[in-house]
Amino acid sequence: MPELPEVETTRRGLAPHLDGRLLTAALVREPRLRWPVPDALPQLMVGGRLERVERRAKYLLFRFDRGCLIAHLGMSGSLRLVPEHTPWRTHDHVEFAFEGAPRLRYNDPRRFGSLHWVTDAPEDHFLLSGLGPEPLGAGFDGALLHRLARGRRVAVKAFVMDARIVVGVGNIYATEALFMAGIRPTRAAGQVGRARYDRLAEAIRTVLGRAVTMGGTTLRDFVGGDGKPGYFRQSLACYGRGGEPCVQCGQPLRSERLAQRATVFCPRCQR
DNA sequence: ACTGGCTCCTGAGGGC
DNA sequence: TGCCCTCAGGAGCCAG
């Protein structure tokens, strides 16, 4: 489900309610996520104070005074605030109770998400240690992409979706950014020139930034921490529009499978 | 070092 | 109504 804008939307929805709160209880109903949730998670966490909710790539970092909860939403996960005594829904796997705040529920039908507890610096955790730069932060630009792409034969779409290169660019936004930059997704990463990587980096920033502003993209059921859907779907020019006319030239958009992912592009505008 | 393919899992939607 | 097939917003892992 969530790409970077959806994760950031979740963070913004949760932080005002949870920052500074004391964790009074944690319940794991279903530990079988991407990695098993340790039995000891509640006893490790309860009694700790949540200092702040941060985001790194598509991971949410719940920084407590005594450690850090690293949460990933996988493809179908969500973290929502619900009133106490809200009936359990299917796939509500974990619940956290904070003093003076609604309950925090982790729901994930496909269970591709994960929860890790660390007491060392989360940046050193194996899930985070190899990650590339944040696309909306400093240290990401066309020069970086161009340099890392040298000699690479992988398709440029897979290249920008590789979290070691740049984080947070999932299938929707990779598709949109390549369309905006006029680059064909199947082109080898090493065959894209510097000027075009400048345009691509700018397109990635623009697309992700706009999506964050609009609360992310709700395809079927994404909701932010406040339970509201995202509105970026209406802005999608390419993703999910295979066969429909290109908004720039009117040609039918082509739909292909690339690296096991649905890929849409305009055969005329994207070269 | 790269690359492509497979995998985890449930649910929705289309065709028959 | 039901069954079977395909596909879905991620990304770690593995063989070649």
Round to the nearest angstrom and report the end-to-end CA distance of chain A. 29
Q: Average pLDDT of A80-85?
A: 96
Return the number of other C-beta atoms located less than 10 Å from residue A198's C-beta. Answer: 16
Residues of A that are catalytic: 2-3, 58, 261
Q: Which of residues 36-95 of A touch strand B (CB under 7 A)?
A: 76, 90-91
Q: Fill in the DSSP letter of residue A123.
A: G
For A169-178, how does the pLDDT look when each residue is reduced to its tens digit (9 = 90+)? 999 999 999 9
Flag whether pLDDT at A70 surpasses 90: yes
A33 CB neighbours strand B below 7 A: no
Per-residue pLDDT at A119: 97
Question: pLDDT tens, A182-202?
Answer: 999 999 999 999 999 999 999
Nucleotides of B under 7 A from a protein CB: 2-13
A91 CA to C1 C1' in angstroms comes to 26
Average pLDDT over residues A217-236: 80
Q: Rounded to 5 degrees, what are φ and ψ at A181?
A: -85, -5
* pLDDT confidence bin for A217, thresholds 50/70/90: confident
Do residues A115 and A70 lie in contact, with contact meaning Cβ atoms separated by under 8 Å? Answer: yes
The string of DSSP letters for A74-109 reads: TTT-EEEEE-TTPPPPTTEEEEEEETTSPEEEEE-S
Sheet holding A59-64, edge to edge: A50-56, A59-64, A67-72, A114-118
Q: What is the pLDDT averaged over residues A42-62?
A: 98
Section A138-153 average pLDDT: 97
Helix (H, G, I), strand (E, B) or coil at A213: helix
Mean pLDDT score, A57-83: 97
Is the distance between the Cβ of A75 and the closest atom of strand C smaller than 7 Å? yes
Q: How confident is the model at residue A215 (pLDDT cuts 50, 70, 90)?
A: confident
